[in-house]
Structure 1
Amino acid sequence: MHPAVLALVTIAVGVGACIGYFYFSNIILDKFIFPAKGPNAGRNINRANMVRPWLFLFPALFALTLYLAYPVFETLRLSLTDRSQGGAFVGLDNYRQMAKEPKFWEAMRNNMLWLIVVPAASTAFGLLVAQLTDRIKWGSVAKSMIFMPMAISFVGAAVIWRLVYHANPIDVDQIGILNAAYLMLGGDEPQQWLTKLFWNNFFLMIVLVWIQTGFAMVILSAALRGVPEETIEAAIVDGANPFQVFFRIKVPQIMGTIVVVWTTITIVVLKVFDIVFAMTNGQWETQVLANYMYDKLFRASDWGVGSAAAMVIMLLVMPILVWNVYNARKEMK
C-alpha cells in the first residue's frame, strides 16, 4: 500500500475508533449500567453523570499510562537488574558502575556546561530579536527567517552545521563557511573545529541556540506586546532613555515569561541527543547524558547502566517540570 494511502487509512481508522468508543460507551453506560428508568432513575442519572467524565478521560489516561508511566517504572526496574545474570536484582550496582566511568562524568560536565550556556544565550538572543524586530517595518519577515530553524529537525540542523564546520585540504576550495572565512582572514590552514577539545562543545551549542532562538523570540515578542503602553509612556515622560525603558520597565514586567522560556529550553538541553549524535557521536570529549545512555543501551547492550543513565536524566528534569507546573498553577489563581 502506498504510504500516503496507508496514512489516510490509519487516520480514518483512528478517528472512527474514537467516535465509536465514545458513542457505544455512552450507550452502554446509559442503557445497561445505569438505565434512566424505574424507581432508581434519578439516582442512576446522577451516577452516570459522575462516571461519564471518566469515559472521556480513559483513552488519555490509558495512553499516558502505557507510553509514559509504564516506561518510567520499567526503566527503574531495569536499572536495578543485571541482564547478563538473567535479569537478577542487583540493587544500586549499576549506579555504582556508572559513577566509576569517566565517560559518565564527562557527560555530566558537558550537560552542566550546556545548561549554563544554551538557555541563557537562546533567551537573550530571543529577547533582543523580539525587541528589535518590533521596531522595524520588515520585522515580520525577519521573525519568519529567525523562526525558520524551528521547522528543521535536530538531525537536519546538525547536518547543515557539519557543512558549516567542514574542512577540506588546504589546496582544495573550502565548502565550510567557517573555514573559508578563517582562511580569508589570514588563517594558515583549515581547522577541524569539532575535534578541538572544550571549544567543540560550544560549536555544538551554537546549533541548539540557532534553533531555540526562534522559539524564545516568538514567546517573548508576544509578552512584550502585552506590556501596557501607559507604563512605557510614563517612563518616557519622566526622561527614561530606550535602554532604561527596556531593562527597567519592559523586562521586569515580562520576567515570568522569560523564566518560562528559560526553563523550557533547559528541559530541551537536558535531553539533547540528536545534535551530538549526528555531529561528533560523543567523541573528542563532547559526550552528553542522552548520548551516553544510547551508547550503553544499544551499543554496549548494557541495559542496567543505560537505564540508570535514563533515570539520572529524569531526576534532573523532574524538579524543573514540578517548578513549571507550580508556577503555572500559581498564575491561574
Structure 2
Amino acid sequence: MEVASLTATYAGKFGLMVIALLAFGIVFFGILLIASLFKGRRGEKLQVVAFLGPALLLLTIGLVYPALRTIFESLKDGQGTSFVGLDNYVTIFTNSDQLIVIRNTAMWVVLVPLFATGFGLLYAILVDRTRIEALAKGLVFLPMAISLVGASIIWKFMYDYRPETRPQIGLLNGIMAKLGVGTHQFLLDDPQNTIFLIVVMVWIQAGFAMTVLSAAIKAIPDDIIEAARLDGVQGFGMFRFITLPSIRGSVVVVVTTIAIGVLKVFDIVRTMTGGQFKTSVVANEFYNQTFRYDNQGLGAALAVVLFLLVVPIIIYNVRQLRRAENR
C-alpha cells in the first residue's frame, strides 16, 4: 500500500509538471503568434507589450502586490485586526531589544563589506601573476561553494565550547587549551558574539570580492602600468595612484553587492545562535516576530524597514553602473 501511495504521489507531481510545461508552451506560442500578426511601428509597440505584458503581470502579482500588502499590514496590530498607524515603526526604533537588532544589523552592513572587500583586494594583489595564482585563488573562492547553513555549521564547531573538565572539540578552544590561555564561549558574550558571526560572512564573501577585483586588476592596460613605473611609481604608490582608481567601479559593485546580501542575512544567525544572546538581525527578527511570536504587524514593519535599507544601496549601485557605461 505504501509503495502504491508513493507511486501515485510521484505520478501526480509529474503530471502537474507536464501540465505546467504545456501551459508555458501554449502561452509562449500565443505571444509569438500575436506578435507576428502586427507589422510596422505600431506592430513593434504591440510586440513589446505582448512580450513584456506577461512578465509585468507576474511581477505585479509576485512582487508589487505583496510589497503593498506588507506595508498595509505593518500599520496594523499584532493580530492584524485594527490599525495602529506608525506604532510598529516607533517600537522598532525605541524598544531596547529592537534597538539591539538595529545595532547588530548596522555592524553587519559596515564590517562585512569593508573587511570582505579589503581582504579580497589585498589577496588579489598579492597572488596576481604568481606561480600558484590559480591554486591560491581556488582556495579562497572555495567557501563560496558552501551554503550559508553549511558554513555556519562548520564555524559553529570551530567556536564550540565545553567545560574545562571535558575535552574541547571546538578548534579554537582546543588550540587555546593546548596553549594554556584558557577557553572562551565565543557565541555568548555580547557584542563580541556578533563579531564572531560576522567572521563567517567575511570568510564566505572574501572569495567573491577577490574574484571580481582580480579580474578588474588584470584588465588594467599594461601601458598605464609601464608608464607609471617609468615615472618612478612603485609599491604602495602604484596601488594608490594606478590600481585603485582603475578598479574603483568594480570596488563599488563589490561593496554594494555584499552590503545588499548582508542586509538580508538570516541563515548564519539562525543556524549558529537562533538570534539569542543579543545576536539577532532584522531578517531574523522579522522571522521571529511573524512566525514565533505571531506579531504580524511588527513583523511586517521589520520587513518594510529591511526593504527601505536595501533600496538606497541599489539606487547608488545603478547610478555607478550608468556612470561607468557613459565614460
Query: Normalising to structure 1: TM-score of the pair?
Result: 0.88
Deviation of the 1:239 alpha carbon: 2.1
Partner of 2:54: 59
Deviation of the 1:92 alpha carbon: 1.3
Separation of aligned partners in 1, 2:250 and 2:312: 18
Separation of aligned partners in 1, 2:20 and 2:236: 54
Separation of aligned partners in 1, 2:248 and 2:212: 12
Partner of 1:22: 28
Q: Which runs of 5+ in 2 are unaligned?
A: 1-5
Worse-matched range after superposition: 94-103 or 274-283: 94-103
Q: How does 1:230-269 map to 2 (within 5 A)?
A: 230-269=223-262
Partner of 1:40: none
Worse-matched range after superposition: 138-147 or 15-24: 15-24
Separation of aligned partners in 2, 1:213 and 1:265: 10
C-alpha distance after superposition, 1:28-47 (max 9, x if no partner): 4556xx6xxxxxxxxx6543
Is residue 183 of structure 1 aligned with residue 169 of structure 2? no
Worse-matched range after superposition: 8-17 or 241-250: 8-17
Deviation of the 1:17 alpha carbon: 3.6
Q: Aligned AA for 1:65?
A: T
Deviation of the 1:184 alpha carbon: 2.1
Q: How does 1:128-167 map to 2 (within 5 A)?
A: 128-167=122-161
Q: Aligned AA for 2:49?
A: W
Partner of 2:90: 96
Alignment CA distance shift 1:137-1:263 (3 Å): same
Separation of aligned partners in 2, 1:272 and 1:169: 31
Please, which of 280, 287, 295 is the counterpart of residue 288 of structure 2?
A: 295
Separation of aligned partners in 2, 1:240 and 1:94: 56
Alignment CA distance shift 1:246-1:15 (3 Å): farther
Deviation of the 1:5 alpha carbon: 9.0
Deviation of the 1:9 alpha carbon: 7.2
C-alpha distance after superposition, 1:210-250 (max 9, x if no partner): 01001111110111011111111112222222222122211
Separation of aligned partners in 1, 2:158 and 2:204: 15
Partner of 2:3: none
Please, which of 35, 45, 48 is the counterpart of residue 43 of structure 2?
A: 48
Name the Cα RMSD after superposition: 2.4
Q: Which runs of 5+ in 1 are unaligned?
A: 35-43
C-alpha distance after superposition, 1:178-209 (max 9, x if no partner): 11111122223x32110122111110000000
Separation of aligned partners in 2, 1:72 and 1:265: 23
Alignment CA distance shift 1:8-1:252 (3 Å): farther
Q: How does 1:280-319 map to 2 (within 5 A)?
A: 280-319=273-312
Separation of aligned partners in 1, 2:15 and 2:315: 39
Contact 1:121 1:209 survives alignment (8 Å): yes
Query: Normalising to structure 2: TM-score of the pair?
Result: 0.90
C-alpha distance after superposition, 1:139-164 (max 9, x if no partner): 11221221111121111111110000
Q: Aligned AA for 1:71?
A: P
**3-state SS of paired residue (2:131):** coil
Contact 2:35 2:50 survives alignment (8 Å): no
**3-state SS of paired residue (2:162):** coil
Partner of 1:275: 268
Separation of aligned partners in 1, 2:192 and 2:77: 37
**3-state SS of paired residue (1:283):** coil
Q: Aligned AA for 1:91?
A: G
Alignment CA distance shift 1:198-1:242 (3 Å): same
Deviation of the 1:48 alpha carbon: 3.1
Contact 2:289 2:296 survives alignment (8 Å): yes
Count the aligned residue pairs.
320
**3-state SS of paired residue (1:81):** coil
